[in-house]
Amino acid sequence: MAATSGAGRPEKRKAITRAATAVFGREGYVRASMDAIAAEAGVSKRTVYNHFADKETLFLSVALESSGELTEKIRDLVDRHLGKIVDLRQDLTDFAVDRARAVLSAGDHGALGRAIRAEVANIPADVLEAWLEAGPVASLRDLAERFEALAGRGLLVVDDPALAAEQFTLLTFHGVAERSFWGAVPVPDEEVGRIAALGVDAFLKIYGAPAAG
Amino acid sequence: MAATSGAGRPEKRKAITRAATAVFGREGYVRASMDAIAAEAGVSKRTVYNHFADKETLFLSVALESSGELTEKIRDLVDRHLGKIVDLRQDLTDFAVDRARAVLSAGDHGALGRAIRAEVANIPADVLEAWLEAGPVASLRDLAERFEALAGRGLLVVDDPALAAEQFTLLTFHGVAERSFWGAVPVPDEEVGRIAALGVDAFLKIYGAPAAG
DNA sequence: GTCTATAATGTGATAGAC
DNA sequence: GTCTATCACATTATAGAC
């Protein structure tokens, strides 16, 4: 906290973090320059250093922030698609498609996630853990809770909800993530839909309730 | 070819590519310096530039080379573990564990794969395609062929061997790859084994022959 | 091997805006 | 008065040419 904050107007700080998110996502940590971030934020470089101690602090700060925001976005998708089940297969597929889009679409937080994954060897262990906890791990937990509820209603047969959530994510999301290199290379919408549908097929073979076939 | 080759002893060239693989893998593309590569190869920087036009050419060259070598390694594992099936579940699990180790173990080609994934936005499309074709896509095809053979012998029920190979890889490998950030963060052996076993469980629920239970 | 050109981070100093 | 923009600056590191 003490290192990241300081004096200054909050609006400036917001402009800086938004610019940093964009530039780090576009260029990656090493290539991104503080000059470029300052320019994109419309402030002077001095002002950036007034708000953030150094480049690394700025990067880790926006990484954590962005991680939490993406988790909230995904939580909304979980609620929207898996809150009230109409057609389980369809709802799961829709969720898979929307999540892939939310994480991997170009302009968004996904680009920063790519930068973080690229820099992971240079990120302090405790910060990395905090990022995981605010991001991927939290989303997995949200999904696991939902699966547990669905199992309670007899729609799924699930022993270990955390495992089911992870395997659902692997089958419906990681194939797209890998193919698009976490959003760096575009994947056509129809391809995303196809992969999601096939992933849900496989998932339901593992965890589907026999009644629903 | 013309850009990557030149005069000079082949032994020097080999030393350079080996050093470049190590340094690029350790530091990533941007951070790696040509000085460090020359030093690690035990040659002068001038010699490096005699063999490779520039930094980018050197990187792309070792990327392709390493991709092919890793594919061969994995092909050996496919043959060893899935050539003669003794206990299908056990053989699949052993293969999954060995592959994860081969790709993600620290000193190996896996580190370079991480660097490539980090740089993917700056890699020319045709080179990226060649890298995919020599690496991940080729390995997937090898595995698909093997699954098709196993299906022919009644050990698996497989409609689409390519899909089965991809889903096997997702279930048994990508969970570890993601958790370790493609080898940047170590994952305990027992955790790798646990994930592999759970992945094979799921895979056999989808594709297992009913006879074998 | 040496040298040049370039570009990066982070630091002052000063003068102006809210 | 406090925060800001502008400019200049020292330091360091790099790619690549001679």
CA-CA distance, B120 to B183, in Å (whole number)?
A: 17
Q: Looking at the domain assignment, is residue A180 inside a domain? A: yes
Q: Looking at the domain assignment, is residue B38 inside a domain? A: no
Alpha-carbon distance values, B104 to A88, B25, B44 (Å) = 36, 12, 31
Residues in chain B, pLDDT under 70: 1-9, 106-108, 211-213
Q: Looking at the domain assignment, is residue A47 inside a domain? A: no
- CB-strand contact B5/C, under 7 Å: no
Identity of the residue numbered B88: L
Q: Looking at the domain assignment, is residue B120 inside a domain? A: yes
Angle at alpha carbon of residue B174, lines to A118 and A146, rounded to 5°:
105
pLDDT of residue A36: 94
Q: Do A93 and A194 form a contact (C-beta atoms < 8 A)? A: no
Contact check, Cβ <8 Å, B170/A171: yes
Q: Looking at the domain assignment, is residue A183 inside a domain? A: yes
H-only helix segments in chain A: 10-27, 34-41, 45-51, 55-82, 88-104, 109-118, 125-134, 136-152, 161-169, 175-179, 189-207
Structure tokens at B9: 């002893």
Kindly report the number of other CB atoms within 10 A of residue B5's CB atom.
Answer: 12
| pLDDT tens, residue order, chain A (213 aa) | 333 444 566 778 999 999 999 999 999 999 999 999 999 999 999 999 999 999 999 999 999 999 999 999 999 999 999 999 999 999 999 999 999 999 998 666 889 999 999 999 999 999 999 999 999 999 999 999 999 999 999 999 999 999 999 999 999 999 999 999 999 999 999 999 999 999 999 999 999 988 654
Structure tokens at B79: 């043959």
Contact check, Cβ <8 Å, B31/A31: no
Contact check, Cβ <8 Å, A184/B28: no
pLDDT of residue A106: 63
Q: Looking at the domain assignment, is residue B186 inside a domain? A: yes
For residue A84, the domain's CATH number is 1.10.357.10
Residue A174 sits in which domain range?
64-212
* Contacts (Cβ under 8 Å, ≥6 apart) of A166: A140, B175
Domain count, chain A: 1
Q: Looking at the domain assignment, is residue B9 inside a domain? A: no
* Residues in chain A within 8 Å Cβ distance of B116: none
Of A136, A185, A202, which is closest to B167 when you measure between CB atoms? A202
Q: Looking at the domain assignment, is residue A108 inside a domain? A: yes
| Minimum CA–CA partner of A106 in chain B | B121
* Contacts (Cβ under 8 Å, ≥6 apart) of A9: none
* Contacts (Cβ under 8 Å, ≥6 apart) of B161: B144, B145, B147, B148, B151
User: Distance (Å) from the C-alpha of residue A9 to the closest C-alpha of chain B?
Assistant: 34
> Quick check: helix, strand or coil at residue B65?
helix
Strand C-contacting residues in A 185-204, CB cut-off 7 angstroms: none
* Residues in chain B within 8 Å Cβ distance of A136: 178
Q: Residues of A near B (CB-CB distance < 8 A)? A: 28, 30-31, 114, 117-118, 120-121, 128, 136, 163, 166-167, 170-171, 174-175, 178, 181, 184-185, 198-199, 202, 205-206
Structure tokens at B93: 């699990």
